[in-house]
Amino acid sequence: MTYSIVARDPATGAFGVAAQSHWFNVAQPVAWVRYGVGAVATQASADPSYGWRGLALMADGVNPATALRDLSEADEGREQRQVAMMNASGVVAARTGDQCIAHAGHVIGDGWSVQGNLLATPSVVEAMAAGYEASRGPLAIRMLGALEAAEHAGGDLRGRQSAVIRIVSSSAESGPGADESIDLRVCDHADPLGEMRRLVLVDEAYREMERGHAAIDDDRLADALGHFDTAVGPGHADELEFWRAIGLVRVGRVDEAVDSFGRLVSERPMYAELLNRVAEVDPVALDLRNAWNR
């Protein structure tokens, strides 16, 4: 009752799982990831234990095909399950049980697998595979492109309701603060993939702001300005304009910071009070407040 993708980005080593379904909060039963270990999609008559047990086996060095075989052999309901497993190296295994509701199937590629059941047409899985292969950009955008291609080909027979994208770093030492880490969920929405695309873009905008301030720390001022300008693009959160003004002060662009902050306050006066409060603990914010009050 779901279609999904597990995939790995060969450029960064990041990997993850994404799915869409006509079911509330598809993330909860379907999407499983673990830093430095792998990703699992478990669906159809979903058994979440394939998620945590599969990840535990892969963490112990068991390859995905063996892990999936062993778990399936011990499962009396295996013919009603659809599961894909991928380890941190991009090795993939998938299985579609004979009793999964039609149309059901999977396609495995180099470092990815797409799968779906209760699909509107037999071509949905093939469309998802082609959509992923044709897409470019960060892994989240490519995975979203695969889901959108599936939806355009008919998607879930029942329609749409929820979506998830979960991506983690290939490093077991990484955590939620890692640049590759993404955990976005649309639990109940008339257009879950449209809402997911919006969230992916907002998520990236916040990451751009963080990259801008990190670039200042590394004395890469030109890079910082580029990140700031990208972060405050059309449709992005107005709070990012506040932190961009702070960043502009950090690189010595005080007049530009004051102009930017002034425009923000004219539309959202509460940011003047936010600046007052941040200035109590941040000397850069204090510099901005002093310049703005001149």
Q: What share of the chain is helix, strand, coil (3-state, %, to 5)?
A: 45, 20, 35
Is residue 219 located within the same domain as residue 99?
no
Chain segment 172-216, per-residue pLDDT in tens = 666 555 556 899 999 999 999 999 999 999 999 999 999 999 999
- One-letter identity of residue 47: D
Identify the pLDDT of residue 174: 61
Paired tokens of 179:
């640049």
Q: Quick check: 23 and 162 in contact, CB under 8 A?
A: yes
Chain segment 33-45, per-residue pLDDT in tens = 999 999 999 999 9
Question: Tell me, what CATH number does 287's domain have?
Answer: 1.25.40
Report the DSSP beta bridge partners of residue 114.
5, 107
Q: Quick check: 38 and 25 in contact, CB under 8 A?
A: no
**Boundary-marking domain end, from 161, 190, 219:** 190
Question: Tell me, what CATH number does 102's domain have?
Answer: 3.60.20.10
How far is 221 from 143, CA to CA, in rounded Å?
A: 32
Is residue 152 located within the same domain as residue 225?
no
